[in-house]
């Protein structure tokens, strides 16, 4: 896991100059965003390492299907990309976990085209309010559950109440930093309250997660995320160590720019929500993406990654110093 200093206010207004060739202009813009040359000088070792990263990048984007492009970047060291990590866009069921929907228990709306607050019944389960505005930005308070239209609903795929299920819509970069390993930054401008990505991995029973957690603690790292939205009762945990998507690389911050929501789509089991990450504010290109692993609110304890006590490295003004 990694972190990168925020580059607040780094808005780019490209101005083409006659004396610059298109390639020189591209390099200049890239340098403004990433504070480095688009083609840094490479010795033989660095060149060979970058070639390996490019191949991993290619494989990841094949696995990501039609999602926006994912870049890989390491200008810090020669650390290997996590060899055990396999990219997946969806949750994978572990032993004893059922992840396929049961149509008998799915309640659908009867909207003919696009859903509206007046005619759609799906928001009833979200407290009677639409979870999103017309631009797909979440409007509900963080602890409120979100019920999107599902496989039985006749509305179109671009329905206002289908956001998380459409997947990530921004380009991102998995990058390496000097002190904290791999992290994730956005390459696109992200609006406040916009959906960024889902946290996916292998769904484990609590018993299996406890066993893996003991192993991960000895390694000094973990990617376990407890699904305890159901009044604190936790039956399942997401393990993103072996299988996951770009959210595997999102780091903790005590002052994060992402927040977690529980979202239900085709599987209505209250113990099995999708874990969706939304922007808490406008995020500029080049900024690292983070969420609070220990977030609390409304006197409740929301789902959080299981972790042993370790020193926090977020460096924010309100840093709590420790992850417990």
* pLDDT for residue 39 is more than 60: no
Kindly report the backbone phi and psi dihedral angles of residue 30, in degrees, each rounded to the nearest multiple of 5, phi listed first. Answer: -60, -40
More confident residue, 264 or 116: 264
Active-site residue identified among 87, 199, 223, 261: 199
The string of pLDDT tens digits covering residues 126-143 is: 777 889 999 999 999 988
Active-site residue identified among 223, 236, 241, 293: 293
Question: How distant is the alpha carbon of residue 155 from its chain centre?
Answer: 26
More confident residue, 113 or 254: 254
Confidence label for 29 from pLDDT (cuts 50, 70 and 90): low
Which residues on neighbouring strands pair with residue 159, listed in sequence order?
A: none
Confidence label for 13 from pLDDT (cuts 50, 70 and 90): very low
Confidence label for 59 from pLDDT (cuts 50, 70 and 90): very high
More confident residue, 229 or 5: 229
Question: What pLDDT is stored for residue 72 in this prediction?
Answer: 96
**Nearest Cα to 195, choosing from 279, 84, 303, 96?**
279
Question: What pLDDT is stored for residue 2 in this prediction?
Answer: 42
Cα gap 9→259, rounded to integer Å: 21
Question: What pLDDT is stored for residue 317 in this prediction?
Answer: 86
The string of pLDDT tens digits covering residues 185-244 is: 999 999 999 999 999 999 999 999 999 999 988 887 878 999 987 766 889 999 999 999
Q: Residue for token digits 């080049």?
A: 286
Question: What pLDDT is stored for residue 296 in this prediction?
Answer: 44
Judge contact between 286 and 5, C-beta under 8 A: no
Q: If DSSP states are collapsed to H, E and C, what string results for the chain?
A: CCCCCCCCCCCCCCCCCCCCCHHHHHHHHHHHHHCCCCCCCCCHHHHHHHHHHHHHHHHHHHHCCCCCCEEEECCCCCCCCCCCCEECCCCEECCCCCCCCCHHHCCCCCCCCCCCCCCCCHHHHHCCCCCECCCCEECCCCCCCEECCCCCCCCCCCCCCCCHHHCCCCCEEEEEECCCEEEEEECCCECCCEEEEEECCEEEEHHHHHHHHHHHHHHCCCCEEECCCECCECCEEEECCCEECHHHHCEECCCCCEEEEEEECCCCCCCCCEEEEEECCCECCCCECEECCCCCECCECCCCEECCCEECCCCCCCCCCEEC
Handedness of CA 314, 316, 319, 321 (dihedral sign): positive
Confidence label for 314 from pLDDT (cuts 50, 70 and 90): confident
Q: In percent, how much of the chain has pLDDT > 90?
A: 58
* pLDDT for residue 162 is more than 70: yes
In whole numbers, what is the pLDDT of the chain averaged over residues?
A: 84
Question: How distant is the alpha carbon of residue 48 from its chain centre?
Answer: 30
More confident residue, 219 or 146: 146
168 burial (CB, 10 Å; 0-12 / 13-18 / 19+) is buried
Domains of the chain: 47-100+142-291 (2.170.270.10)
Kindly report the backbone phi and psi dihedral angles of residue 214, in degrees, each rounded to the nearest multiple of 5, phi listed first. Answer: -65, -40
Question: What pLDDT is stored for residue 210 in this prediction?
Answer: 94
Instruction: For residue 243, indicate whether it is catalytic.
Output: no
Range from 25-29, 101-105, 106-110, 159-163 carrying the lowest mean pLDDT: 25-29
Instruction: For residue 293, indicate whether it is catalytic.
Output: yes
117 Cβ neighbours under 8 A, 6+ residues apart: 123, 129, 130
Q: Residue for token digits 């999602």?
A: 67
Range from 13-22, 41-50, 77-86, 234-243 carrying the lowest mean pLDDT: 13-22
Question: What pLDDT is stored for residue 24 in this prediction?
Answer: 58
In our burial notation (b when 16+ CB lie closer than 10 A, e otherwise), range 87-107 reads bbbebbebeebeeebeeeeee
Cα gap 140→125, rounded to integer Å: 12
More confident residue, 111 or 321: 111
């Amino acid at each position: 896991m990694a972190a990168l200093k925020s580059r607040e206010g780094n808005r780019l207004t490209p101005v083409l100059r006659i004396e610059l060739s298109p390639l020189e202009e591209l390099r200049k813009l890239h340098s403004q965003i990433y504070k480095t040359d688009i083609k840094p000088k490479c010795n033989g070792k660095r060149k060979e390492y970058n070639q390996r990263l490019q191949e991993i990048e290619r494989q990841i984007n094949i696995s990501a299907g039609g999602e926006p492009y994912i870049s890989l970047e390491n200008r810090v060291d020669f650390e290997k990309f996590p060899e055990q990590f396999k990219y997946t866009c969806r949750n994978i069921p572990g032993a004893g976990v059922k992840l396929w929907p049961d149509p008998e228990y799915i309640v659908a709306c009867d909207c003919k085209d696009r859903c509206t607050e007046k005619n759609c019944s799906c928001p009833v389960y979200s407290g009677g309010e639409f979870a999103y505005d017309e631009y797909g930005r979440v409007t509900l308070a963080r602890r409120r559950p979100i019920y999107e239209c599902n496989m039985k609903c006749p509305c179109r795929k671009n329905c206002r109440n289908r956001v998380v299920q459409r997947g990530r819509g921004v380009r991102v970069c998995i990058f390496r930093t000097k002190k904290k390993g791999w992290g994730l930054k956005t390459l696109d401008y992200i609006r406040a309250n916009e959906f960024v990505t889902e946290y996916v991995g292998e769904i484990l029973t609590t018993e299996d997660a406890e066993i893996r957690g003991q192993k991960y603690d000895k390694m000094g790292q973990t990617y376990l995320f407890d699904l305890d939205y159901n009044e604190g009762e936790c039956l399942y945990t997401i393990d993103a160590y072996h299988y996951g998507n770009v959210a595997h690389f999102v780091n903790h911050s005590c002052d994060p720019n992402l927040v977690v929501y529980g979202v239900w789509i085709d599987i209505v089991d209250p113990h099995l929500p999708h874990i969706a990450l939304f922007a808490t504010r406008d995020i500029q290109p080049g900024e690292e993406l983070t969420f609070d692993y220990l977030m609390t609110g409304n006197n409740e304890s929301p789902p959080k990654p299981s972790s042993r006590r370790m020193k926090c490295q977020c460096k924010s003004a309100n840093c709590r110093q420790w992850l417990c």
